[in-house]
Amino acid sequence: MIFVTSNQHKYDEISSIMQNVGFKVQWRKMKYQEIQADTTEEVSLDSATKLAPLIGKEFFLEDTGLYIAALNGFPGPYSSYVQDTIGNAGILRLIDDLSRTAFFLTVITFYDGTGFHQFSGRLDGSIAGEITGKGGFGYDPIFIPEGESQTLGQLPLSTKNSISHRRRAVTAFMEFLTESGHIDSTDD
């Protein structure tokens, strides 16, 4: 199954989750333009729709956003731009003494050769008081998953991969592939 991303971390996480249960993942390392839209679902679908004629066979991609409740879901679909501009330190300054409740949302869009299917996964948690931990990427050092006392930047990658937004979206995707009797046609 072709996974289109330019992000090594996303590839490592997804391939480890899928290959553990017998799904082969081929990395198509490729940067593509993302639109700015109101939802992560729209961004992901738009990218997949534009890539489908270029790739010409089935593939999937994913988009992830960090949604902070006290900021009405910001940065959400703007997560990439916000990470590149104000970064984790900027997020901590923005929320200051507001409520720290937040979640990550991953949306996978799968192109099956004719149509598109979307699968999502969410991880609830809170924004840490400071940037902590060197593991993971992006917002991981400021995000504490519900039920944990450390950030995703501190927790082992195996823990992140067993509870994450990405894990949940991939699980829904693999269930769909299994239930629909899907046969991978990208092995060649």
Q: Which is nearer to ligand IMP, 7 or 16 (CB)?
A: 7
CA dist 89 and 94 (Å) reads: 9
CA dist 30 and 6 (Å) reads: 5
Question: Which residues, 2 to 61, sit near ligand IMP by CB under 6 A?
Answer: 7
Q: Which of 23, 27, 116, 137 binds ligand IMP (CB under 6 A)?
A: 137
Q: Which of 121, 125, 138, 145 binds ligand IMP (CB under 6 A)?
A: 138
Q: How does strand 75-76 pair with strand 116-127? A: unpaired
Q: Which is nearer to ligand IMP, 131 or 182 (CB)?
A: 131
Residue 136 gets the label, from left (phi > 0), alpha (psi -120 to 50) or beta, of left
- In the complex, minimum distance from the CB of residue 107 to ligand IMP, in angstroms, rounded to a whole number: 9
- In the complex, minimum distance from the CB of residue 135 to ligand IMP, in angstroms, rounded to a whole number: 10
Q: Which is nearer to ligand IMP, 166 or 168 (CB)?
A: 166
Which range in 17-25, 50-58, 78-86, 175-183 contacts ligand IMP by CB under 6 A?
78-86
Position 64 contacts ligand IMP (CB under 6 A):
yes
Position 67 contacts ligand IMP (CB under 6 A):
no
Tell me, letter by letter, the H, E, C secondary structure of 107-157. EEEEECCCCEEEEEEEEEEEECCCCCCCCCCCCHHHEEECCCCCCCCCCCH
Neighbours of 130 (CB within 10 A): 10
Question: Which residues, 104 to 133, sit near ligand IMP by CB under 6 A?
Answer: none
- Please report, as a single letter, which amino acid is at residue 110: F
Residues that bind ligand IMP (CB under 6 A): 7, 63-64, 79-80, 83, 136-140, 166
